[in-house]
């Protein structure tokens, strides 16, 4: 167990000793401060209605896509980078199985995503409380607190992050090219909604099993705009989908992605 923890520590050192990692953390700290500061400055000089701190925290949550992109980049490079720099042979001659090596890399990506998410959460809450008044939020739903609402929004985004990162991790392992992994994963993340609109699960029943339709679990609990008579939940229910269904589909996709990565890495000829 101690040897495996040392392996995980070694993978984390590879991540955090790189300058790009600290640039990523710097961006998720600076950007919320800049955006919140600009909005507060604008409101104070235009006399417009003052945004509440919790409403601002939820709005700043939209910047979380950067956390997803940064985690995706790390996941796409953590295996492919070993082949690019030719260090994979040095890694595999050590007394660790290939499964443990791959697992340590996966855990390192997971720890990175959790740490970055925690930092992001602390930043948006702190910045919102600093620049705006702690007034009752406009988006508060019955039976929940403002903090729970913000955490729930970020939780749904974090689940999407895990799925896309698993895909990037798999592509990185299979193709040994971080560029391909980043490009394909970002395409799916950015174009997923467009593809989902073209393949309506009501019209095409088989489409409900596609990854795109099961991303963003928040659609099952959050109404669209102020019209409570319509929600994405009712739309997907007509196609036989629910939050539990989508969660299971996403879990299956993650398992398949990681299983493919494991099988390929176990059989990979590092001399190739």
Cα 116 vs. chain centroid, distance in angstroms? 10
pLDDT of 225 higher than 60: no
- Residue 230 banded pLDDT, cuts 50, 70, 90: very low
Give the integer Cα–Cα distance in Å for 124 and 120. Answer: 6
The span from the CA of 80 to the CA of 67, in Å, is 20
**In this predicted structure, what is the pLDDT of residue 227?**
45
Region of 230 (left: φ > 0; alpha: ψ -120 to 50; beta: rest) is: beta
**Average pLDDT of the segment spanning 28-50:** 86
State the helix-helix crossing angle for 53-60 and 19-46, rounded to 10 degrees.
140
Count how many residues are written for the chain.
272
- Decide: 116 and 70 in contact? Cβ < 8 Å: yes
The residue with greater pLDDT, 252 or 83, is: 252
Residue-by-residue DSSP string for the chain: -HHHHHHHHHHHHHHHTSHHHHHHHHHHHHHHHHHHHHHHHHHHHH-PPPPPHHHHHHHHGGGGHHHHHHHHHHHHHHTHHHHHTT-HHHHHTSSS-HHHHHHHHHHHHHHHHHHHHHHHHHHHHHHHHHHS--PPPTTPPTT--HHHHHHHHHHHHHHHHHHHHHHHHHHHHHH--HHHHHHHHHHHHHHHHHHHHHS-TTTSGGGGGSHHHHS-GGGGT-BSTT-TT-BHHHHHHTTT--HHHHHHHHHHHHHHHHHHHHHHHHH--TT-
Is 154 within 8 Å of 61 (Cβ atoms)?
A: yes
Q: What is the pLDDT of residues 83-118, one digit of tens each?
A: 777 777 777 777 778 888 899 999 999 999 999 999
Token pair, residue 184, equals: 């394909």
pLDDT of residue 185: 86
179 CB neighbour count, 10 Å cutoff:
13
Which pLDDT does position 270 carry in this prediction? 63
pLDDT tens across 131-179, in order? 988 887 776 665 678 888 889 889 999 999 999 999 999 999 998 888 8
Strand partners for 19: none
């Amino acid at each position: 167990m101690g040897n495996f923890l040392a392996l995980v520590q070694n993978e984390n050192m590879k991540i955090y000793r790189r300058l790009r990692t600290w640039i990523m953390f710097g961006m998720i700290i600076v950007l919320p401060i800049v955006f919140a500061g600009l909005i507060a400055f604008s409101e104070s000089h235009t006399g417009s209605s003052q945004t509440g701190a919790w409403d601002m925290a939820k709005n700043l949550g939209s910047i979380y896509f950067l956390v997803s992109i940064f985690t995706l980049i790390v996941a796409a490079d953590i295996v492919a980078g070993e082949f690019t720099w030719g260090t994979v042979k040095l890694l595999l001659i050590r007394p660790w199985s290939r499964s443990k090596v791959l697992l340590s890399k996966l855990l390192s990506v997971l720890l990175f995503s959790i740490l970055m998410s925690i930092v992001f959460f602390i930043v948006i809450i702190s910045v919102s409380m600093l620049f705006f008044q702690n007034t009752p939020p406009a988006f508060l739903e019955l039976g929940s607190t403002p903090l729970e609402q913000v955490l729930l929004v970020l939780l749904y985004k974090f689940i999407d992050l895990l799925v896309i990162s698993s895909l990037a991790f798999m592509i990185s392992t299979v193709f040994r090219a971080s560029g391909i992994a980043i490009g394909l994963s970002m395409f799916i993340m950015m174009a997923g909604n467009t593809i989902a609109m073209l393949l309506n699960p009501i019209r095409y029943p088989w489409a409900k099993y596609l990854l795109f339709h099961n991303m963003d679990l928040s659609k099952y609990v959050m109404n669209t705009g102020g019209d409570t008579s319509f929600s994405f939940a009712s739309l997907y229910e007509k196609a036989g989908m629910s939050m539990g269904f989508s969660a299971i589909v996403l879990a299956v996709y993650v398992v398949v992605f990681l299983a493919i990565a494991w099988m390929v890495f176990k059989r990979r000829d590092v001399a190739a």
